Amino acid sequence: MAKKKPIIGISMGDPSGIGPEIAVKALAKQEIYQICNPLIVGDSGAIKDALRITSLPLKINSITKVKKGLFQFGTLDVYDLKNVNMAELKYGMVSAMAGNAAFEAIKKVIELAQNNEIDATVTGPINKESINLAGHHYAGHTEIYAHFTNTQDFTMLLAHENLRVVHVSTHVSLREACDRVKKDRVIKVIKLAYEACRKIGIKDPRIGVAGLNPHSGESGMFGNEEISEIIPAINEVKALKIKVDGPIPPDSLFSKAKGGLYDVVVAMYHDQGHIPLKVVGFNWCEEKQKWDSICGVNITLGLPIIRSSVDHGTAFGKAGKGTASELSLIHAIEYAVKMAVN
């Protein structure tokens, strides 16, 4: 018998941004329905307007129970939260209403996954100012998921093609990020990276660990964190027969990983990992004065449920125009499917 296709819950993101548009564009691809049963979680009115904006000839099946989904190409199954007043919605604008709608969509996909009604979650882009304006005080998706799943040990994985990066810390100041480079945390993140690679089908992952300081500290000349925290963490993980190298100077590590030497890189802080990933995945066209493509997937590791996401924001400047690329969302769906079936 053929394997049952996983149900992937896709939160629509901020309705004032490009989230609804890229959702309908992604689900206009028949190949998505060949690998999964996609379910948009959000507001049917916002999705209907996204179809108008993008001129896509798709139908909407508005539901309030997952079992009512048709999961047929050509019809968008929308778990309708009825939380967007389309008469008040303004594209490209920060608003409490839009922030609340985005937050409620995230909360609902988490709930559906926890209740085993869906197999994985994929999140559209949100605006943190709008969410906080609505009274939901979180730094981002990752923190929302951690709160509602009661998860303490988690981290972010960014991926584009064969370059994958996990982080020891993310949304904290650079000064605090340095203070968070501790042996126990580095060990946890290496293990999360190992488990993530296994979940997407890499049987024996090769892990490269970045240094914190220039030249990985140059034997203590430029800092002691490598000697006191990172090397002891690596040695402890090596004892578990996990293939891990480091600390490797970050100015060469990411090139090695991009070339295939490592399956995943452990970065010490937010920008150390984000910058190389986005240099590879984000392509700016000077002649057109716009992005030719924005690719990359954001995955939260350590959760009891699966969560992947686009690796870009709400792009308020493009909202309502139908020009936003759905490529990152397609890749996020593909990663969620891999993790759900492995």
Chain centre distance of CA 206: 22
Mean pLDDT for the stretch of residues 13-19: 97
What's the pLDDT at 291? Answer: 67
CB of 187 within 8 A of CB of 154?
Answer: no
- Domains in the chain with CATH codes: 7-151+306-341 (3.40.718.10), 155-278 (3.40.718.10)
Residues 6+ apart with CB under 8 A from 99: 14, 126, 127, 129, 130, 131, 132, 133, 134, 136
Map tokens 């986005």 to a residue.
278
pLDDT at position 92 over 90? yes
Q: 3-class SS at 99?
A: helix
pLDDT at position 2 over 50? no
Mean pLDDT for the stretch of residues 45-66: 97
Enter the DSSP assignment of 6: P
Does 205 sit behind a cis peptide bond, omega within 30 degrees of 0 on the bond before it? no
Q: 3-class SS at 202?
A: coil
Single out the residue of 124, 87, 118 nearest to residue 105, CA to CA. Answer: 124
pLDDT digits (tens, 9 = 90+) for 249-267: 999 999 999 999 999 999 9
Single out the residue of 158, 170, 157, 105 nearest to residue 131, CA to CA. Answer: 105
> How confident is residue 1, by pLDDT bands cut at 50, 70 and 90?
very low
What's the pLDDT at 154? Answer: 84
Q: How far is residue 9's CA from residue 253's CA, in Å, rounded to a whole number?
A: 35
**Mean pLDDT score across all residues of the chain:** 93
pLDDT at position 75 over 60? yes
Q: How far is residue 115's CA from residue 102's CA, in Å, rounded to a whole number?
A: 20
Phi/psi at 133 (nearest 5 deg)?
Answer: -65, -30
Phi/psi at 308 (nearest 5 deg)?
Answer: -125, 165
pLDDT digits (tens, 9 = 90+) for 151-200: 988 888 888 888 999 999 988 999 999 999 999 999 999 999 999 899 88
pLDDT digits (tens, 9 = 90+) for 274-320: 999 889 877 777 887 776 666 678 898 889 999 999 988 999 999 99
Mean pLDDT for the stretch of residues 19-24: 98
What's the pLDDT at 281? Answer: 76
The structure's pTM equals 0.85
Residues 6+ apart with CB under 8 A from 139: 128, 171
